[in-house]
Amino acid sequence: MIRVAFQGERGAFSEDAAIKLLGKDIDFLPCAHLRNVFQAVLKDDVSFGIVPIENSQAGSINEAYDLLLTYPLNIFAEVILRISHCLMALPGEKLADIKAVYSHPQALAQCEEFLTRLTTKIVPYYDTAGSAKMIKEKRYKKSAAIAGQRAADIYGLEILAPRIETNINNYTRFVAISREKAKPHEGSKTSLVFSVNHVSGALYKILGIFASRNINLTKLESRPSKSKPWEYIFYVDFEDPIDNEIYRKAIKELHEEAAFVRILGSYPQARQ
């Protein structure tokens, strides 16, 4: 049985992502914080950590990117999960009687259109599945949580309203982090991070390394450097594995031009 760490309580969307990627035969290790997931993988307590990295509406999850840079681990695989929110409560509760709704702030924001039609108190909570667990354990009457279907199944709650997200095109990209490297193959994606020398045209020259070889960048995003104020590092995703000869030459040139380069992983590209 594979042991997998994720942030949140049982029933979190990260758990759904793990099952979609790795199957149901998993021994889960729920963690309080994303950093704890990375630590569990680094200490070899688990085979994989499942980490949300990007949402189609909210954008990149900055903490996850910072941790990818901090810890000497590899992106082993990725999975894209359709995020569908449900309003759930203790058995027997009625939607008209709900006085308070609990969930993670991002989930509350993603269900804003539905929530504005309710005359209820909106209460931010640290975790979607955690809000469902809290209502179950504390036996909160006239209260509901917003979480995924799996959370309702785990904590014995009833779905008062399914699919309450405002935008049905709500997807989150998760990555599996590991001490091991995936084996590159056709259809792979490579992720890396680099910084540039503080000279005119440095970024332009580096982007030219990819453009001149027709390498398709699927992501380019900057993040503030933790080591120097007002300097930035760049996260890049590109198609195809790094062991291709064209890509090897591009990476070699990148090492020559950039101030810093680190390959985060070359791994199978997910499909929606």
**Whether 174 and 44 share a structural domain:** yes
Q: Which two tokens stand for residue 76?
A: 């082993």
**Whether 75 and 90 share a structural domain:** no
The confidence band for 239, taking pLDDT boundaries of 50, 70 and 90, is confident
Q: Is residue 45 part of a domain?
A: yes
d(CA 119, CA 142): 12
Q: Give 238's contacts (C-beta < 8 A, 6+ positions apart).
A: 189, 190, 210, 215, 216, 217, 218, 247
Using the predicted structure, report yes or no on whether residue 192 has a pLDDT greater than 70: yes
Using the predicted structure, report yes or no on whether residue 131 has a pLDDT greater than 70: yes
pLDDT confidence of residue 183: 83
**Whether 174 and 201 share a structural domain:** no
Query: pLDDT digit string (tens) for 141-179?
Result: 999 999 999 999 999 999 999 999 999 999 999 999 999
Q: Is residue 183 part of a domain?
A: no
**Whether 78 and 145 share a structural domain:** no
Which residue would you say has higher pLDDT here, 163 or 1?
A: 163
By annotation, the residues acting in catalysis are 172, 174
**pTM, two decimal places:** 0.91
**Whether 67 and 174 share a structural domain:** yes
pLDDT confidence of residue 272: 64
Query: pLDDT digit string (tens) for 82-112?
Result: 999 999 999 999 999 999 999 999 999 999 9
- CATH code of the domain covering residue 98: 3.40.190.10
